[in-house]
Amino acid sequence: MRIDDAVGIAVRGYRSRPSGVLPYYLLGTSTAAVTQTIWLIGVTATYFTLSAQGTLAPILTELRALGPLQIDDPTTFPDSTDALVTAFEAAVTPTLIAVVGATVVLSVVVTLAVTATAAAGQVHAVHAVLDGREPIRAGVDGILRDAVSFVALLVLQAIAMLAVVGLLLAGIVAAAATGPAGTLLAIVLVPAVPLAVLTVRLAFLFARQAVVVDGVGALAGVRHSLGYLRTNPVDAIIFLILSVVTLIALGVVTTMLSAVGMSAVGSLVGLAVAFPLLTFVKTALYVGHADGELPAPPAAAGTAASRLDAELRAGAAALGRFVSSRPLLQAASGAVFALGGALGWRAAAGVDGVLEASIAARLAGWFPPTAMANLAANNWQVGVAQAYGGFLGGIPTLASLLFNGISLGAIARIEVDPIALLTFVAPHGVVEIPGLIVAGALGLHLGGVGVRAATGGADRADLAAAVGRAYRILIGLALVFLVAAAIEAFVSPYYADLLGL
């Protein structure tokens, strides 16, 4: 089996059905909305805990004594005073530690579980493309069939990693404590730690593909992955190297983009290009191992330009139909966003004299082309997370709408020049904010689909149709956020001066 053949098959397969696979990678971004929900609850609980303890007021008093802190200019932050440190130390009680600790643990656990669940849909959709089947429906079936197995694989790998590395580290510490000879042994054992990590990673490398392709559970998936490793050690090692090189290259690209203010574009490259292609290569290799021959996905029809044009047109049409057919959902989404704005405005009153924001400081060094790309990519990913997070009963969508509204309301309250902020936000806000509200309405709609599916009112076909329809609507929203970003980057910072306002 040749890995270069698998790479060629991966590119061909992805080009043939990107719209059948990308929805499940976008579904993975819903972890942001889920995590946001948990942290919103955690921050609220922390606030009430500090208030109940009587330790919030002393912290605010000491912060006010330092003068207004410019959140957009870290150089204005003074060194912590002894009094402020004392106030923070007094706030750290067992109750507060429990609240913060529970928030962190729950956030990590839920995020990993949602990520693993989305991965089941991703691998099943990729396998369906390679087999010439319908990927959207295959992804839904795969999530319902294998989500538990994918979460179990995550847990098993974490346990294996902790056990192996923990035993080695314990051995190194114990050996070092026995004298010079033990210290020498400990030094010899140190390189074994990364080797152990690599061994565990290799053992689980094809476990997800085994679960999907062979139709087995988590433990059997690990055994089958080890079987692939024994049969095709060279391909497995080359693929691991390819994965590491790809991730390093992605990290370099993301770092370079971040340096010019386009960090959101880097994350989008990984989401839409690097990660799907790696899954295609890995799945093609395992299918070749399981079936005795590499898969032969259908070739893409038409040119890339014609397919992109068709996708954008279909997305714009789907967006128009959704907006016109769900007015109550739009109104509900807008109301939640507005409620968040009001809560943010009111909450920010408590930090008067503590924090200040400055739109002028945020616009320092503004470069419209890179700002436009970053804003479009960031806002679209926020909208995607807000929409697909709705499958969990709509709760993450509501939390995301509240959070975004709270952020806008709080920033408006602590802005040193409210007129300048309003002047800046007005041109692009009339496009961007409705876009976020529509994404919220889509999330609420998907929340209804999710609830009906959980209660038996919707079947797998309904879920698959909802996933595909949401993807098309989100493609339409990408155009909306692109327009908003263009206005924000090229018009909002400059038009007031040009008009003499």
CA dihedral 4, 9, 14, 16 (to 10 degrees): 150
Confidence (pTM): 0.91
Average per-residue pLDDT for the chain: 89
pLDDT digits (tens, 9 = 90+) for 241-287: 999 999 999 999 999 998 888 889 989 999 999 999 999 999 999 99
Report the pLDDT value the prediction gives residue 363, as an integer from 0 to 100.
Answer: 86
Which of helix, strand or coil describes residue 68?
coil
* Residue 1 clears pLDDT 60, i.e. is over it: no
pLDDT digits (tens, 9 = 90+) for 57-88: 888 887 777 777 777 776 666 666 677 778 88
Report the pLDDT value the prediction gives residue 430, as an integer from 0 to 100.
Answer: 95
Give 169 or 155, the one with higher predicted confidence: 155
Joined tokens for residue 239: 């693929």
Report the pLDDT value the prediction gives residue 151, as an integer from 0 to 100.
Answer: 95
Strand partners, 266: none
- Estimate to the nearest angstrom the gap between the alpha carbon of 413 and the chain centroid: 29
What is d(CA 307, CA 311) in angstroms, rounded to the nearest whole number? Answer: 6
What is d(CA 227, CA 341) in angstroms, rounded to the nearest whole number? Answer: 56
In the structure, what pLDDT confidence band is assigned to residue 104 with cuts at 50, 70 and 90?
A: very high
* Residue 428 clears pLDDT 90, i.e. is over it: yes
Give 67 or 338, the one with higher predicted confidence: 338
In the structure, what pLDDT confidence band is assigned to residue 117 with cuts at 50, 70 and 90?
A: very high
* Residue 472 clears pLDDT 90, i.e. is over it: yes
Mean pLDDT of 452-461: 91
CA-nearest of 415, 309, 401 to 361 is 415
* Residue 362 clears pLDDT 90, i.e. is over it: no
Give 281 or 298, the one with higher predicted confidence: 281
Report the pLDDT value the prediction gives residue 66, as an integer from 0 to 100.
Answer: 74
Mean pLDDT of 226-235: 93
Asked if 63 and 84 touch (Cβ cutoff 8 Å), the reply is yes
Neighbours of 419 (CB within 10 A): 11
- Estimate to the nearest angstrom the gap between the alpha carbon of 351 and the chain centroid: 30
What is d(CA 329, CA 426) in angstroms, rounded to the nearest whole number? Answer: 24
